[in-house]
Structure 1
């Protein structure tokens, strides 16, 4: 199989459909063209199913006692996603652990598909997915991780430092694109704020944000390590006249990054450059 690069996406918070990536997929494939696209492994990550059953149960218990159900559903799904993924991170089979397990297994699938070798990786994360992937990489870079899947025995006979282990730990990640990142919400209360370390000498981190998106933030102001590692790019998100007219100037912009023309163009250029 002549695959040269893995393109991975991960969604944000809220009641997210499994096919959240469709618009992005269609646009990036069209922009690259068939010849280049044949060299790409596309892997959309999905963690909402880890959380959704319990969220539905809780919503059902409340349904007859409250009003504004559509708004409550939005808030419950969105904020409980973030809270649940930060809760009991040291416990096996917690949402934090299970989400990291899903990411690790997805990396294994890519590794197997390309014939047990490391290939360059691009990750495109949106909203809460930015924190999820950053945490996964952070934990994978710890010599002795204290939380998540890297802090526990995995019983899979994968030797530390082996090509599979390195690939799992995102050592092949060359570009990390964050769209509407809400990482500041998770770290703002800490006195010491550090970014992940570069995964390899070619690593770069591009953070797209819209100043009207109250859930998306620039990352460079967080700390010197973020300032050094991340390139913040402010954009006016949306694809097409009506999208920009009705959504780009207000909080609805948070869901518009996936099909933004500049985002698509920049990622397509990076894919082409690496291939």
Structure 2
């Protein structure tokens, strides 16, 4: 099976999914009884470099070149936090409300502005505008190259599992929706030539084997507010999944912590979302001292309440793909 993690905002480290991968492999091995390395090919889609340069330019023009070291330090704290290091939250909690930092010129609230740049600025930069879609396509190019690697290593028609977090859920939704429209009968050309150049015409890379989709801390509800009735979701399972894997289990589960202000349920958005989303699943993530606060948004794929059910479904699909009956 092929598995990819698609990250959200404030990710600068390509090893962002190391902890999540370790937890997923451990839980999968526990459910199947074989080494996960013999059954799964896992590759994270690290698309942050597509936006890094424009973020750096914004920070330097706003705060001056000396600010670069501060923002690199904040990125390092964020990297540790996304890797499941709970202690990394404390520097943010201590500094985010500071109005002035002695080594950073105006404007004020530099740490808070760093967070706004990532959570709001990344979302704005990723959108297609009337005059330009280059960053949208560049982000999708990173996803396409990841799926290309997965097809090479797991097989051209291997079942695909996508685990996406935060803005990454929007990236995943857009990416696979564009593919489904592109390759439908009488479809429209939604995938840019630069993205097509990163692909081969394999079922996995065309999104035809997408069987499992997990959205964590998902802001799609906000993202689709400008669309009539919240827009049209991608189709789950992929329309051609059962051509390649007849009768295979599929699901789209949306994990949300009720204390996460960025996460929204999907099924209540419209009848179309009710048909495509298997379920909105409430979970409580993060350590007890942080799980009741908005910072729960960072913890999803480093928490057993999320990883264990994903591993259980992966185990089921792997058995079906290999003709093995039984198991939990």
TM-score range, shorter chain: 0.7 to 0.9
Q: How many residue pairs are counted as aligned between the two chains?
A: 258
2:54 is aligned with 1:54: yes
The equivalent residue for 1:100 is 140
Distance, in Å, in 2 between the alignment partners of 1:89 and 1:133 is 22
For 2:305, what is the secondary structure of its paired residue?
Answer: helix
Given that residues 44 and 146 in structure 2 are in contact (C-alpha distance below 8 angstroms), is that contact kept between their aligned partners in structure 1? Answer: no
Cα offset, 1:274, TM superposition: 1.6
Q: CA 1:101/1:219 → structure 2, altered by over 3 Å: closer, same or farther? A: same
Comparing 197-206 with 173-182, which one deviates more in the overlay?
A: 197-206
The equivalent residue for 1:257 is 300
Distance, in Å, in 1 between the alignment partners of 2:306 and 2:181 is 31
Q: CA 1:190/1:61 → structure 2, altered by over 3 Å: closer, same or farther? A: same
Distance, in Å, in 2 between the alignment partners of 1:157 and 1:256 is 32
Q: CA 1:89/1:172 → structure 2, altered by over 3 Å: closer, same or farther? A: farther
**What's the TM-score once normalised by structure 2's chain length?**
0.73
Distance, in Å, in 1 between the alignment partners of 2:108 and 2:118 is 16
The equivalent residue for 2:71 is none
Larger-Rg structure:
2
Could you tell me which runs of 5 or more consecutive residues in structure 1 were left unpaired when the two chains were aligned.
Answer: none
Distance, in Å, in 2 between the alignment partners of 1:54 and 1:153 is 20
Comparing 81-90 with 69-78, which one deviates more in the overlay?
A: 81-90
The equivalent residue for 1:120 is 159
Given that residues 28 and 36 in structure 2 are in contact (C-alpha distance below 8 angstroms), is that contact kept between their aligned partners in structure 1? Answer: yes
Cα offset, 1:68, TM superposition: 1.1
The equivalent residue for 1:197 is 235
Could you tell me which runs of 5 or more consecutive residues in structure 2 were left unpaired when the two chains were aligned.
Answer: 64-104, 243-247, 319-328
Given that residues 15 and 78 in structure 1 are in contact (C-alpha distance below 8 angstroms), is that contact kept between their aligned partners in structure 2? Answer: no
Q: CA 1:157/1:271 → structure 2, altered by over 3 Å: closer, same or farther? A: closer
Given that residues 194 and 223 in structure 1 are in contact (C-alpha distance below 8 angstroms), is that contact kept between their aligned partners in structure 2? Answer: no
Comparing 100-109 with 247-256, which one deviates more in the overlay?
A: 100-109
